[in-house]
Chains A and B, each alone.
Chain A
Amino acid sequence: MIAIAETLDYDEVLEHFDPVLGLEVHVELNTNTKMFCGCANVFGGEPNTHVCPTCLGLPGALPVMNARGVESAIRIGLALNCEIAPWCRFARKNYFYPDMPKNFQTSQYDEPIAFDGYLDVALDDGEVVRVGIERAHMEEDTGKSLHVGGATGRIHGAEHSLLDYNRAGVPLIEIVTKPIEGMGHRAPEVARAYVTALRELMLALGVSDVRMDQGSMRCDANISLMPKGASEFGTRTETKNVNSLRSVERAVRYEMTRQAAVLRDGGSITQETRHFQEADGSTSAGRPKETSEDYRYFPEPDLVPIAPSREWVDELRGTLPELPWERRKRIQDEWGLTDEETRDLFNTGAADLVALTVDAGAPVAEARSWWVQYLTQQANTREIELAELPITPAQVARVIALIAEGTLTHKLAREVVQGVLAGEGDPDEVIADRGLQVVSDDSALLAAVDEALAAQPDVVEKIKGGKVQAAGAIVGAVMKATKGQADAKRVRELVLERCQ
């Protein structure tokens, strides 16, 4: 049904065209309540159990702004180096669609609360690109629809649809970039890096849980191409549904290659919404884009304007936490890391975990090594985020301490960690249950050594005759007898002592 679009080879795209990006990111705020009513703002829940006359758009119900929603919007604006509007209003965006029970969405139009800022974004190789922020404005989320009767659960072919308005009215901040130009082949990477940086910023601010998989952070990517040397932007498409960091990069790349193929064949780009297909990384045509006049925006008469005083804005500025890039710089300096080490630390998502492990008493180098290497591998194998591994920084610190005091060898330590990951309890419990402690008690070792010596008298003779390397056979036997839990170096010393 969906025609597979032709695409141009990526390198060829860049020979002829310059990409221009514009990214719109929606962030759901983690306020306790919705933006304009006191209904709980929670993910999921039984359908239509977090609703009231206001968010259902019942006659006579009036909205009142959530103070914390506005505060979060201002804090986001400040962290994005934006101007904060001294006076602004909400507007009604009128359209008919069952996911908005009011038949309009309360949004901001030409008076956004924050505008004209920037975000510095670190690329994979450490280069920093400054992405301009056009605006950050407040609006509300829509309800969720379920399409029934179609084979695919999509609108097409559905017989009817079912609506759950628990999400309707949840506060959203839409953050819109200025056109991102001149990135060439790195445009897809810049798009991913920007959304990644924005996500980290929201986490640091504590304003949203930014779960792309749950839709609390969503990205729409506007993409256009202009012939090399041209100064006027080409016609853009807006790809929606881009719901993971990796997808952002794939969607931009795909759309560049698709548009280039159309343009090369003398065609023109239709200004339209396109849907990202997670399965194959392609995009498919959606509706033609409405002009903004069609939404017949007008100032919301049921809400009064917002006029944040200088004092209030300054107070909120004072609540900004250490921002991700400041923290990155501080950690690099404090721990004396190279650029590459810093990059690995942050790219693996290990920074917080390492810091907590250090707080729990572990040296930086060991903590970093465990999280960035071994545990990152474990997370990758399980296809989960590092922070989702079922092991705590305190447990990792304990394992590191046990190695330092000689209770565990590195090999045994990994076994202990595997035990913790398997849900067998704290490191000490795993050691006790699996009997993993290094045998360093000389009397226990000597018994094993004597037994091994008695079993191989010929080897004893060789050692006594000066062939010290023959001790290896005895050491091996002892290690086998102690199931690898002996300190091999100490065993060797004991063997040589006994043979003197």
Chain B
Amino acid sequence: MPNISRDEVAHLAKLARLGVTDDELDTFAPQLDVILESVAKVSEVVGTEQDVPPTSHAVELTNVFREDEVRQGLTQEQALSGAPAAEDGRFRVPRILGEEQ
């Protein structure tokens, strides 16, 4: 039975770098709980006896590869054209808080 706590939602919001207020947490936590419960119903339908493995892809394909051949990508100008800020041919981003990942 899913049961997502307010703390868990706050933690997920932090991982997703979303600023969520206390009021929003009060609203979202129960809503997410309902969503999880609905999804859990699918598990009930599948049941434990039947052999329906979880899937990550709608089409049953495997081994879709491409040859190791270089294809023309974007120019530096094109690559940076959508960037809010650029400097010296690079994407410019605000100060990074915290450590290297």
Per-residue B-contact encoding for A380-413, CB less than 8 Å = 1, 0 else: 0000000000000000000000000000000000
Known: A47-B88, A155-B99, A300-B56. A32 touches B65 (CB 8 A): no
A49 within 8 A of B: yes
Neighbouring A residues of B89 by C-beta, 8 Å: 46-49, 164
A147 within 8 A of B: yes
Cα A301 to Cα B79 in complex, Å, equals 25
Contact B70 A47 (CB under 8 A): no
Q: How far is the CB of A160 from chain B (nearest CB, A)?
A: 6
Q: Give chain B interface residues in 42-91, CB to chain A under 8 Å.
A: 56-57, 59, 61-76, 79-80, 82, 87-91
Cα A294 to Cα B13 in complex, Å, equals 11
Interface residues on A, range: 35 or more
Contact B66 A98 (CB under 8 A): no
Contact A287 B98 (CB under 8 A): yes
Neighbouring B residues of A299 by C-beta, 8 Å: 56-57
Cα A17 to Cα B101 in complex, Å, equals 31
Q: How far is the CB of A393 from chain B (nearest CB, A)?
A: 31
Neighbouring B residues of A147 by C-beta, 8 Å: 96
Contact B96 A39 (CB under 8 A): no
Contact A65 B65 (CB under 8 A): yes
Among candidates B74, B90, B101, residue contacting A162 with C-beta atoms closer than 8 Å: B90
Among candidates A51, A94, A307, residue contacting B79 with C-beta atoms closer than 8 Å: A51
Interface residues on B, range: 35 or more
Cα A309 to Cα B92 in complex, Å, equals 45
Per-residue B-contact encoding for A284-317, CB less than 8 Å = 1, 0 else: 0011000000101011110111111000000000
Main secondary structure of the interface of A (DSSP, over half): loop
A161 within 8 A of B: yes
Contact B65 A98 (CB under 8 A): no
Contact A294 B15 (CB under 8 A): yes
Among candidates B56, B59, B64, B76, residue contacting A48 with C-beta atoms closer than 8 Å: B76
Besides the contacts A46-B89, A66-B66, A98-B91, what 8 more A-B pairs have beta carbons closer than 8 Å? A47-B76, A51-B73, A56-B79, A87-B62, A155-B96, A161-B93, A164-B91, A286-B100
10 closest cross-chain pairs (CB), A and B:
A38-B71, A52-B73, A299-B56, A162-B90, A67-B65, A68-B68, A287-B99, A307-B62, A163-B91, A47-B89
**17 intermolecular pairs with C-beta atoms under 8 Å apart:** A32-B70, A33-B68, A33-B69, A38-B69, A38-B71, A38-B73, A50-B73, A67-B67, A95-B15, A97-B96, A145-B96, A155-B99, A160-B94, A163-B90, A287-B99, A304-B64, A306-B62
